[in-house]
Amino acid sequence: MSQNPQLGYRPLLNIYDLIDRVLDKGIVIDANVSVALVGIEILVVRARIVVAGIDAFLRYAQALGLAAIPGAPTPLADAPAVVPPK
C-alpha cells in the first residue's frame, strides 16, 4: 500500500487566513534602539509600526488618543476666520 503524503496534508493556517487575521486584529511593533559611547547617547531611534486594517487602526489610535473621534468638535472649529488685510 502506498499513500500519497499530499492527500492528508492541510496547513493549519493558510496565507489568506493569516492576512485576514492580521488586518482584523492588527500587529504593533514597538522598537527602541540607542547607541551610547562612554555613557553618552549618540543615536536614539524610536519606532512604532502598526500593521492593521483601517477599523483596527482607528480603534488603536483612538485608545491612544492619536485620532479624533468622528463627530467630535475640533479645537479650531469655533475659532474666527482670519481675514487678510486689504
pLDDT of residue 23: 82
Whether residue 71 is contained in a domain is answered as no
Is 40 contained in some domain? yes
- Gap between the Cα atoms of 23 and 51, Å rounded: 7
pLDDT of residue 45: 92
d(CA 43, CA 34): 6
Angle (CA) 54 77 80, round 5°? 155
**Would 45 be classed as within a structural domain?**
yes
Residue 39 lies in a domain: yes
pLDDT at position 49 is 84
Residue 12's pLDDT band, with cuts at 50, 70 and 90, is confident
Q: What is the pLDDT of residues 31-64, one digit of tens each?
A: 999 999 998 999 999 998 878 888 887 877 777 7
Distance CA 72, CA 60 (A): 17
Residue 20 lies in a domain: yes
Over residues 22-29, the mean pLDDT reads 83
User: Which domain, by its residues, includes 43?
Assistant: 15-64
How many CB atoms are closer than 10 A to CB 26? 16
Contact 81, 48 (CB under 8 A): no
Number of domains in the chain: 1
Cα 41 from chain centroid (whole Å): 28
Q: Is residue 10 domain-resident? A: no
Domain assignment of residue 33, yes or no: yes
Give the pLDDT confidence score for residue 11 in this predicted structure: 65
Instruction: Please indicate, yes or no, if residue 50 is contained in any of the structural domains.
Output: yes
